[in-house]
Amino acid sequence: MDVSKEARLKALTEEIAALLYEETDPEAVKTLEGIEKAVRGHLLEHVGPAIGNFSSVNGAMIKRSTDTNAVLMPTFERMSA
């Protein structure tokens, strides 16, 4: 991963962490066990499914540019059933 992508990933990850923290019950993160459960719950409910979409054969279709010199950026559309 190049430096600019790594920096963007870090910034987005920090933003996601802040959003999830805001949505977490303060009482739930008073212990290490509570923090672990809250993080795991957020990962399973929100983060994992969103990340998994890019590799899901049944859930997403990647549109690619026909320009061979273009940087390929996947865009996702739900496939109809």
DSSP string, 14-80: HHHHHHHHHTS-GGGGSSHHHHHHHHHHHIIIIIHHHHHGGG-TTT-EE---S-TTSPP---EEPPP
Q: Is the pLDDT of residue 65 over 60?
A: no
- What range defines the domain where residue 36 resides? 3-77
- Residues 61 and 21: their CA atoms lie apart, in Å, by 32
Total domains in the fold of the chain: 1
∠74-77-81 over CA atoms, to 5°? 140
**What is the per-residue pLDDT across 8-52, written as a single tens digit (0 to 9) for each?**
999 999 999 999 999 999 998 999 999 999 999 999 998 888 777
Task: Give the pLDDT of residue 73.
Answer: 46
